[in-house]
C-alpha cells in the first residue's frame, strides 16, 4: 500500500475518479449495461412464460401415462416442469382442466389437420386408408400420446366427466373421420357396400391393440415376442382392404411398402 500509484490513496487516481466528465461517462456506461441486462432478463422471462404452458403439458402427459390419472398429483407435474404448484394453477385451475388440455394438445387438436388432409387427398381410397393407418402410427401411436387411450380404457369408468369429454373430443371425431374414408370408398365404387358404423371398429381395432400393447404387455415382452408395429399395421391394412375392396377389382390395393 506504500508505493505511489497503488490503491485509492494515490492522489492521481482520486483526481481521475472525481473528475466530473469521467463520472458522467461511467454513470452512462453503468446505466446502459444495467438497462441491457434488465432487457435481457425480461426477454428471458417472457420467453419462459410463453413456453411454460407447453412445458406443463409435456410434464403432465409423461406423468399421466406413467401413473394414470388418479395417481398423478398436481405438485408432481409442477415439480417435473420445474415450477411451483401455484404457477401450475395459474394456467390450469384443476387437474381435470390440465388433463383436458393434454388431450387437446396431443390428440383432439389434430382432427382439423386430418380432415383437411382428407379433403385434399388425391389417391384412391385404399391408398387413403393405408396412409391414414401409417400416419396415425407416426403422429400418435409411437408417441407418448398413445398412452392416453390406454389410460382412458382403464380409468374412464371412475371418471364419467372425463369419459364424456373424451367421447366428444376424440372418439366421436375419430369415428366420423374413419366413416368418411369408408364412405368415400363406397361412393367411388372402390369398396363394397357395408355397415359403415360397424366397419369403423374393424379399422380401429389394430390401432387400439397397438396402443394397449405398447403400454402394457409390450413393456415386458421378450425379444422373441417383440412386435414390429409397422409390419403389423401393413399386414392388418392388407387384411382390411381384401375384405373391403370390391370383388370385381375396381378398388385397387396399394402396393406393399414393407418386405
In 3D, which of 55, 215, 224 has the Cα closest to residue 151?
215
Residues 54, 81 contacting (CB under 8 angstroms): no
Residues 196, 183 contacting (CB under 8 angstroms): yes
Alpha-carbon distance of 170 to 107, in angstroms, equals 7
Please give the model's pTM, rounded to 2 decimal places: 0.74
Over residues 208-257, the pLDDT tens digits come to: 999 988 888 777 777 767 889 999 999 999 999 999 998 875 555 555 54
Which fold is adopted by the domain 107-244? Tetracycline Repressor; domain 2 (1.10.357)
We find that the CATH architecture of domain 11-102 is: Orthogonal Bundle (1.10)
Alpha-carbon distance of 238 to 236, in angstroms, equals 5
Over residues 105-161, the pLDDT tens digits come to: 999 999 999 999 999 999 999 999 999 999 999 999 999 999 999 999 999 999 999
Residues 178, 240 contacting (CB under 8 angstroms): no
Alpha-carbon distance of 259 to 249, in angstroms, equals 23
Alpha-carbon distance of 200 to 182, in angstroms, equals 8
Please give the helix or strand (H or E) that residue 37 lies within, else none.
helix 20-67
Question: What are the sequence ranges of the domains in the chain?
Answer: 11-102, 107-244
Over residues 56-65, the pLDDT tens digits come to: 999 999 999 9
Amino acid at each position: 500500500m506504500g508505493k505511489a500509484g497503488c490503491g485509492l490513496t494515490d492522489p492521481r487516481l482520486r483526481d481521475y475518479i472525481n473528475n466530473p466528465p469521467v463520472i458522467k461517462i461511467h454513470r452512462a456506461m453503468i446505466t446502459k449495461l444495467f438497462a441491457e441486462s434488465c432487457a435481457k432478463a425480461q426477454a428471458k422471462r417472457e420467453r419462459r412464460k410463453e413456453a411454460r404452458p407447453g412445458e406443463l403439458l409435456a410434464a403432465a402427459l409423461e406423468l399421466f401415462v406413467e401413473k394414470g390419472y388418479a395417481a398423478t398429483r398436481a405438485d408432481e407435474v409442477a415439480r417435473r416442469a420445474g415450477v411451483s404448484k401455484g404457477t401450475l394453477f395459474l394456467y390450469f385451475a384443476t387437474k381435470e382442466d390440465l388433463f383436458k388440455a393434454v388431450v387437446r394438445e396431443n390428440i383432439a387438436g389434430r382432427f382439423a389437420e386430418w380432415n383437411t388432409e382428407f379433403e385434399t387427398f388425391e389417391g384412391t381410397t385404399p391408398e387413403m386408408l393405408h396412409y391414414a393407418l401409417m400416419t396415425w402410427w407416426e403422429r400418435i401411436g409411437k408417441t407418448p400420446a398413445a398412452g392416453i387411450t390406454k389410460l382412458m380404457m382403464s380409468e374412464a369408468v371412475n371418471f364419467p366427466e372425463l369419459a364424456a369429454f373424451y367421447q366428444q373430443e376424440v372418439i366421436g371425431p375419430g369415428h366420423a373421420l374413419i366413416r368418411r374414408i369408408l364412405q368415400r370408398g363406397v361412393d367411388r365404387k372402390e369398396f363394397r357396400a357395408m355397415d359403415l358404423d360397424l366397419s369403423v371398429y374393424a379399422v380401429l381395432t389394430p390401432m387400439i391393440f397397438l396402443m394397449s400393447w405398447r403400454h402394457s404387455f409390450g413393456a415386458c415382452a421378450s425379444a422373441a415376442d417383440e412386435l414390429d408395429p409397422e409390419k403389423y399395421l401393413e399386414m392388418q391394412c392388407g387384411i382390411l382392404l381384401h375384405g373391403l375392396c370390391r370383388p370385381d377389382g375396381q378398388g385397387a390395393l396399394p402396393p406393399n411398402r414393407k418386405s
